[in-house]
Amino acid sequence: MDFLRIIELCAVAFGLIQGVLVMLNRRSNWIFYSLQMLLMIVFSGAKHLYGDVVNSAVYLALGVIGFAIWNKKDPRGIRACGAKERVVYCLVTAAATFLVFLLTKRTDDPLPLLDSFTTVSSFVATYYMMTKKIDTWIVWFVNDIFYAIEYFIVPGQALGLFVLNLVWTGMAVLSYRQWKKIMNG
């Protein structure tokens, strides 16, 4: 087994652990999140997915912030976004995806538009997760579908990450339901 495959499998394992912990609204999810992001920086760099490298580097910082701010005041603290916030999310995602695409299409990124969309929507989903907005799971659901596609069609395929994103798609549904129960008390 080559080094990159080991990195991918470890990232998958940390991602699964993190997914279960965040679904259960556990602060420790951020530790596994950060470890996964360290591995994803290495993996994505080797695959020339530059949007994902930047994404994972920012995620690493957000993982530290997420760990610091979760459960400080209200351990449940889950709430929904308002309609205006959802519209802003859609507009920001579209505009930022276009801007990131303009940058990534000038590189050897094999999937610049898909890489750009998953990068931008992941930032929004992570922000919503950090601030405990239940809408995060809707964004993650869509994002994980597109990430699964990306990892399936990227040259040299990343089948472990493809499967992880399929699992995360299902976990987004379960997490939405779990957070809804917590939110409704």
Of the pLDDT bands very low, low, confident and very high (cuts 50, 70, 90), residue 64 is: very high
The predicted structure's pLDDT at residue 134: 95
In angstroms, the CA 44 to CA 85 distance is: 31
- pLDDT tens readout for residues 133-157: 999 999 999 999 999 999 898 877 7
In angstroms, the CA 112 to CA 110 distance is: 6
In angstroms, the CA 138 to CA 118 distance is: 14
- Average pLDDT of the residues in 104-124: 90
Q: Residues with Cβ < 8 Å from 118, sequence gap 6 or more? A: 51, 52, 55, 143, 146, 147, 150
* Residue 110 and residue 48 in contact, taking contact as beta carbons nearer than 8 Å: yes
The predicted structure's pLDDT at residue 29: 94
The predicted structure's pLDDT at residue 85: 93
* Average pLDDT of the residues of the chain: 89
The predicted structure's pLDDT at residue 71: 67
Collapsed DSSP state (helix, strand, coil) of residue 79:
strand
The predicted structure's pLDDT at residue 125: 93
Pure H helices in 47-135: 50-69, 83-104, 112-130
Amino acid at 99: L
- Average pLDDT of the residues in 40-67: 88
Query: pLDDT at residue 116 above 70?
Result: yes
Closest among 84, 59, 55, 66 to 22, alpha carbons compared: 66
Q: Residues with Cβ < 8 Å from 163, sequence gap 6 or more? A: 12
Query: pLDDT at residue 38 above 90?
Result: yes
The predicted structure's pLDDT at residue 63: 92
The predicted structure's pLDDT at residue 1: 66
State the virtual CA torsion across 59, 65, 68, 74 in degrees, nearest 10.
-90
Percent of the chain with pLDDT over 90: 56
- pLDDT tens readout for residues 90-112: 999 999 999 999 998 998 888 99
- Beta bridge partners, 133, equal 79
* Residue 120 and residue 96 in contact, taking contact as beta carbons nearer than 8 Å: yes
The predicted structure's pLDDT at residue 7: 94
Please give the backbone phi and psi of residue 80, each rounded to the nearest 5 degrees, phi first: -100, 155
